[in-house]
Amino acid sequence: MAELKYIPGFGNECASEDPRCPGALPEGQNNPQVCPYNLYAEQLSGSAFTCPRSTNKRSWLYRILPSVSHKPFESIDQGHVTHSWDEVDPDPNQLRWKPFEIPKASQKKVDFVSGLHTLCGAGDIKSNNGLAIHIFLCNTSMGNRCFYNSDGDFLIVPQKGKLHIYTEFGRMLVQPNEICVIQRGMRFSIDVFEETRGYVLEVYGVHFELPDLGPIGANGLANPRDFLIPVAWYEDRQVPGGYTVINKYQGKLFAAKQDVSPFNVVAWHGNYTPYKYNLENFMVINSVAFDHADPSIFTVLTAKSVRPGVAIADFVIFPPRWGVADKTFRPPYYHRNCMSEFMGLIKGYYEAKQGGFLPGGGSLHSSMTPHGPDADCFEKASKAKLAPERIADGTMAFMFESSLSMAVTKWGLKTSNCLDENYYKCWEPLKSHFTPNSRKPAGPN
């Protein structure tokens, strides 16, 4: 595969032409009577027309045939995709999943769409408010099938296996330790090269943004220049037997046939695009004196709610960094949170639980459910000599955090057969160190 090219920047106004058709973008207007190369002009709107300029999202696509050229949509099998949050009774317990099992290609071929499994979520699609967390488990490419989501944006986190993603805006190669965002309404198809696994955070009705930096200043965390947007690329390809376009609409899956590849956009311009980001580029902020800053300092992207400072979803990472805090219990503190916290692991191990939390698995600590380091981590960290140390080298854990109280699906609790029934036992060895007759704590050895 030839090296793919990208346009750097987050949320920029961009313009791109496939170099095979120079001058394909109209000059001075969006919708000429006849477009260059006799293309069709089509606008893709990611926000209401009347949104403020700072939040107005749209792109113009110049394509060989418009996307309306398809047969009627018909309902298809849902697989394990759902947005019904009352399949099973609520469960406030700490939940942890072993690595989700990828089906063997020799037994059954499963692509990205048929391999989507909804794990948990909250809110309502029809009112454009909420989120869902999915696991994808696949072993074959999508071929002459593409997908688009009428309900929300997909933030895709590959954990095992790279993804070659075709979109209407161009192509992206997304590898483990990278993420991509494919926004609402954008058609895409994914090629895989091995048994592949990852996580998807879906948000309804809002788009991901860079978090405000406040007193951090102008620079830090995920810098805008490190986000990459694909450049225009098209294929003028007839598909004997029909190309299948799959749509997720109001939580249900539908399919329609058309005669040509949907990736027939020769040129485009606008600020509503897919994009990717390498997590290694994250500029980490951390405490350099004592105590912890809250994990919000590790936020890569946020999908804001209407309440200031409160997110429908945050995407947070725990990257390699230095730990230098003095007189401090350095691992994550014990916590009860009004937010819901889903954690996944791309590679390595998570510092607070080095045993049962494994790459390709996950955990969910629901609203106000207590959580924190296991007993072994607490004992070691309480006695450790506090010298500067590297933390999480070779590791990348992440968190999908939400202000909504998420329900777990039947697949998550039962059908997946990955729920770790013994998770609670990691805290059972915790013991009291209370010394009522001595205020002075025992120091490290």
Binding-site residue positions for Fe cation: 335, 341, 371
For residue 120, the 8-state DSSP code is E
Q: Which residues are annotated as a binding site for homogentisate?
A: 350, 371
Minimal CA–CA distance to 129: which of 185, 76, 83?
Answer: 83
Minimal CA–CA distance to 283: which of 209, 226, 203?
Answer: 226
DSSP 316-357: EEE-SEEE--TTS--SPPPB--SSEEEEEEEES-BTTBSSS-
Q: Which residues are annotated as a binding site?
A: 335, 341, 350, 371
E strand segments, 193-264: 196-204, 228-230, 238-249, 252-260
Catalytic residue among 70, 134, 269, 292: 292
Residue labelled with tokens 């959580």: 371
Minimal CA–CA distance to 234: which of 261, 257, 269, 258?
Answer: 261
* Chain mean position to CA 59: 22
What is the C-alpha separation between 326 and 372, in angstroms, rounded?
Answer: 20
Told to judge if 292 belongs to the known catalytic residues of this protein, a careful annotator would answer yes
Give the H or E element holding residue 277. strand 275-278
59, exposed or middle or buried, with CB in 10 Å at 0-12, 13-18, 19+?
buried
User: Which residues have CB under 8 Å from 266's CB, separation 6+?
Assistant: 17, 18, 21, 24, 37, 39, 62, 63, 64, 232, 234
Q: List residues with catalytic annotation.
A: 292
